[in-house]
Amino acid sequence: MRKLLSTNYSAGAFNAAMLFLRLISGALIMHHGYQKLVNFGQLQHSFMNFLGMGSTVSLVLVVFAEFFCGLFIILGLFTRLATIPLIITMCVIIFKITNIDVFGDGESASLYLAAFLTILLLGPGKVSVDGMSGK
């Protein structure tokens, strides 16, 4: 019981937790990106035109963030750099699409944002390509 209430943790527990967070958040966001990638032709004309870039360019950027950066996070490759496009994407969803409805339609984007900010701040852990290469 004393161990459950302790605030101490080992390096192994930290690395396992970061691996778990990376695998789960990366796989879940990759699913969203894969759906957009598979249906790219149907979505490219109806996707949101963000900052006047055009709906196709906006869709390409979101697919890159959700699918490819999600894959980088799973692998732990360029992890902190890969979280930046995902954080931007989640902020656009929260502030532009859902009008800051973090307890309604923007709830999943808020959870993803929290996960990706945690990964950005703490890094990928030792069980990653970045961790094994000493970055």
State the Cα–Cα distance between residues 99 and 5, nearest whole angstrom: 39
Task: Give the model's confidence band at 1: pLDDT under 50 very low, under 70 low, under 90 confident, else very high.
Answer: low
Q: What is the mean pLDDT of residues 77-101?
A: 93
Task: Give the model's confidence band at 51: pLDDT under 50 very low, under 70 low, under 90 confident, else very high.
Answer: confident
Q: What is the DSSP string of 3-22?
A: TTT-----HHHHHHHHHHHH
Taking the model in full, what pTM does it have? 0.89
Q: Is pLDDT of 94 > 90?
A: yes
Q: Is pLDDT of 9 > 80?
A: no
